[in-house]
Chains A and B, each alone.
Chain A
Amino acid sequence: MKAIYILCVRQLKRYIRSPARIIGSLGQPILFLVALGFGMRAMFARAGGGNYINFLSPGIVSMAILFNAVFSGIEIIWDRQFGFLKETLVAPVSRIEIVFGRMLGGAIVAFAQGLIVFVICLIAGFRVVRSPYLPLAIFFMFMIALLFAGMGTVFGSVLQDMQGFPLIINFIIMPLFFFSGAIFATNGLPRVLLILLRLNPLSYGVDGLRGALINQFAFGLVTDLAVVTILTALLLAIGSYFFSKIQL
């Protein structure tokens, strides 16, 4: 347990000590929030969708969490390169403890970035709706963070170097974000897109978070809770498995 704690603390220290990273990774969500949020606002309202900033903000928060969580897993490659990974792999603690410490630390960092983006959304005009589900927002944010920290751990464990990184970003992470319902509503979508959306784990996280914040569910609270919880457990297990197979 102490190993989990200290490795988690390590990630948090590295995060807090790197303001460039904190600010840098806010760039993308802010860009999406401003360009899409303000650019599409009038069109969305005219189409009868209501307040687009309110619809979009939970998606942007999810985006920040998604990217930061996956990066935290991919950091394994950097630790492999700069050698620190070896130090943990020869220590008398199980790989499970090591990988849980890493995933937990990565998830907390991603969650923190999500909170910062949430505040930025509030400044941009996002208004939370009073609803009984509000406390669940924290839960969904943290689950998205854990789920994708697990997925990032799979990538970080399997990839030997950063060559595959653009592949992961452009063919996995970007599509996960775009086909998650983060930026558009599900009604009136072509069938293919709807299927993609249904198969995407992030869709349920985004829907849960949006439901909790503005009381607007596409899949329903129970479905979101169940899918997100099960998938998070699954991804943590798969991430741990791949990490435990690392040989130097």
Chain B
Amino acid sequence: MGEMIVVQDLVKNYGEFCAVNHISFTVPEGVIFGFLGPNGAGKTTTIKMLTTVLDPTSGSIRINGHDPTREQKQVRRSFGIVFQDPSLDDELTAQENMDLHGILYGVPRAERLKRIDALVDLVGLGERKKDFVKQYSGGMKRRLEVARALLHAPRILFLDEPTIGLDPQTRNHIWGYIQQLSKEEGVTVFFTTHYMDEADRVANDVAVIDHGKIVAQSSPAELKERTKCANLEDAFIALTGHAIREEEANATDRMRMMGRAWRGGGRR
């Protein structure tokens, strides 16, 4: 098995601030990899660089053998992503959102329709696929986004806090599909989460990032052993300390707040 993600000496600076500070790691094919860290540690910045939407300051990245800064199309074809925040078009139906994705990714029509049906059934939305996404609950949107990310049969699935704000039932379902997929189709999964029990349960490997640096990388079992902790949450705190992190809200977050106030707070 080859290496699906190879990161060497990756750096991202925003002016004086160093968001990602010389990190290196590899993720072998077929592995479920948990990328853990407190708020503002550099998780999302790293995912953005891996997925071609942000240019690194320095360092090198290989996704499925391709460089995200130069071979964007090959890299983009290789992965599916579920973002931290919703990224569906609320004014379209679930089916239309899926179809739009399929067309953008060049999935031929016959295959597209077949896969859309199979995937919306997989995430339990078969009955509701003709509904507008604005009528969906937060959990349903998340499930639809997982289904959409899989539509073009990617080799890697990026999940940025995929289960945030979801009830235990939905979380279990989502991890259920993902584990099934990883086992059956050998899809490599790269995810971030704040739920350490989830990471402990599903990840084959984890890396802990703090202040832009990777402070540990191993299997969850080894990490617990090394820190002499009974569970991953304690191990995580042993590695990253007790201090609460302040993260500065970016423009998008502020907009989201305004949007929420504007609409009377209906979203998620």
**Interface contact B88-A83, CB-CB below 8 Å:** yes
Residues of chain A within 8 A of B101, CB atoms compared: 87, 91
Residues of chain B within 8 A of A161, CB atoms compared: 251-252, 254-255, 258
- With both beta carbons as reference points, the residue of chain A lying nearest to B74 in the complex is identified as A92
Residues of chain A within 8 A of B96, CB atoms compared: 13
Instruction: Say yes or no: is B225 at the interface (Cβ < 8 Å to chain A).
Output: no
Residues of chain A within 8 A of B254, CB atoms compared: 161
Residues of chain B within 8 A of A41, CB atoms compared: none
Residues of chain A within 8 A of B103, CB atoms compared: 2-3, 5-6
- On whether A84 and B88 interact (CB within 8 A), knowing A90-B76, A91-B104, A92-B106, the answer reads yes
Within A219-235, the residues touching B (CB, 8 Å) are: none
**Interface contact A14-B54, CB-CB below 8 Å:** no
Instruction: Say yes or no: is B73 at the interface (Cβ < 8 Å to chain A).
Output: yes
From A74-82, A119-127, A130-138, give the one contacting chain B.
Answer: A74-82
Chain B nearest CB: distance from A228 CB in Å?
32
- With both beta carbons as reference points, the residue of chain A lying nearest to B259 in the complex is identified as A81
Residues of chain A within 8 A of B87, CB atoms compared: 83-87
Complexed CA–CA distance, A13 and B91 (Å): 8
Complexed CA–CA distance, A82 and B79 (Å): 22
From B22-30, B45-53, B178-186, B207-215, give the one contacting chain A.
Answer: B45-53
Instruction: Say yes or no: is B90 at the interface (Cβ < 8 Å to chain A).
Output: yes
Instruction: Count A interface residues, CB 8 Å.
Output: 29
Complexed CA–CA distance, A5 and B255 (Å): 29
**Interface contact A83-B73, CB-CB below 8 Å:** no
Chain B nearest CB: distance from A162 CB in Å?
7
Chain A nearest CB: distance from B209 CB in Å?
19
Complexed CA–CA distance, A77 and B258 (Å): 13
Chain A nearest CB: distance from B84 CB in Å?
9
Cross-chain contact of B252 among A10, A80, A84 (Cβ < 8 A): A80
Write the B65-102 contact mask toward A (1 if CB under 8 angstroms, else 0): 00000001110110101010111111110001000110
Complexed CA–CA distance, A2 and B104 (Å): 7
Complexed CA–CA distance, A18 and B90 (Å): 12
Residues of chain A within 8 A of B48, CB atoms compared: 248
**Interface contact B83-A83, CB-CB below 8 Å:** yes
List 21 interface pairs A-B (beta carbons < 8 Å), by A numbering. Answer: A2-B103, A3-B104, A10-B92, A10-B100, A13-B91, A80-B252, A81-B256, A82-B86, A83-B83, A84-B87, A84-B89, A86-B83, A90-B51, A90-B53, A91-B105, A92-B106, A160-B252, A161-B254, A161-B255, A161-B258, A247-B55
Nearest 9 pairs between A and B by C-beta?
A160-B251, A83-B87, A92-B76, A91-B104, A81-B255, A248-B53, A161-B255, A6-B103, A87-B87
Chain A positions within 8 Å of B, measured between CB atoms, are 2-3, 5-6, 10, 13-14, 17-18, 77, 80-93, 160-162, 247-248
